[in-house]
Amino acid sequence: MGSAVSLQRELDRICESSDTSSREGLSYLLRGATSALLKHQQYWISGHSSVITSYSPERAEEQFDELSTAERNKFDDETLVNVNNHKIKITMETIATGTINEYIVVTILVEAMRKILIPVINGNEDLTQALELLKSFPKARINAVEVLWTPQQENDTLPEEERDGRVAILGAYAFNPLRCFLTP
């Protein structure tokens, strides 16, 4: 089973180098995160997608913020944050357990104008199709993007029982990647 450390490092690099104050930067973040996930697809076990349609930009933003908060509350610690290009990196002391970090849960939240046709994830082919679709999503239609993953620190581990409580989908790389909020 592969280690999640290489994916953690790649997501760190992408998040740190993204200018999240612009649509171009949000597009870079979305392309980078989806490319990283596609690069590690040999470790995929499962995924999930959902699309929520809102008929007002204000409601779409509220729903996006609510889901973002709900997803962040599943984390013990957030050690890397990049909001509106304001970047915060917190280094925490961790005790190395000698355990290889095999598990990582990744969530990608997208708020976009107009409907995104994301497939229901029934297997790796559907997940690949969904990630490819997001990877090529037009930047002019992106309102917001968040890429969340846990654990974020290299030496941190995600024990099986904690992983199970954070996401109902189990796997070496359990992706919950595609939650999209749409405005007409």
| pLDDT for 157 beyond 80 | no
Question: What's the average model confidence in pLDDT over 156-177?
Answer: 44
Task: Cis check for the bond before 151: say yes or no (omega within 30 of 0).
Answer: yes
3-state SS class at 83: strand
Q: What is the pLDDT of residues 92-137, one digit of tens each?
A: 454 445 455 566 778 888 888 877 778 888 888 888 998 999 999 9
Q: What's 118-167 look like in SS3?
A: CCCCCCHHHHHHHHHHHHCCCHHHEEEEEEEEECCCCCCCCCHHHHHHHC
Between the alpha carbon of residue 177 and those of residues 48, 80, 88, 158, the distances in Å are 7, 18, 23, 18
Q: Determine the pLDDT at residue 179.
A: 44
Q: How confident is the model at residue 4 (pLDDT cuts 50, 70, 90)?
A: confident
Q: Determine the pLDDT at residue 16.
A: 85
Of residues 157 and 144, more confidence is placed in: 144
The domain spans of the chain are 5-73+101-183
One-letter amino acid of 64: F
Secondary structure letter of residue 92 according to DSSP:
-
Q: Determine the pLDDT at residue 135.
A: 93
Contact partners, residue 179, CB within 8 Å, separation at least 6? 49, 50, 51, 52, 67, 107, 108, 109, 110
Q: How confident is the model at residue 86 (pLDDT cuts 50, 70, 90)?
A: very low
| pLDDT for 55 beyond 50 | yes
| pLDDT for 15 beyond 60 | yes
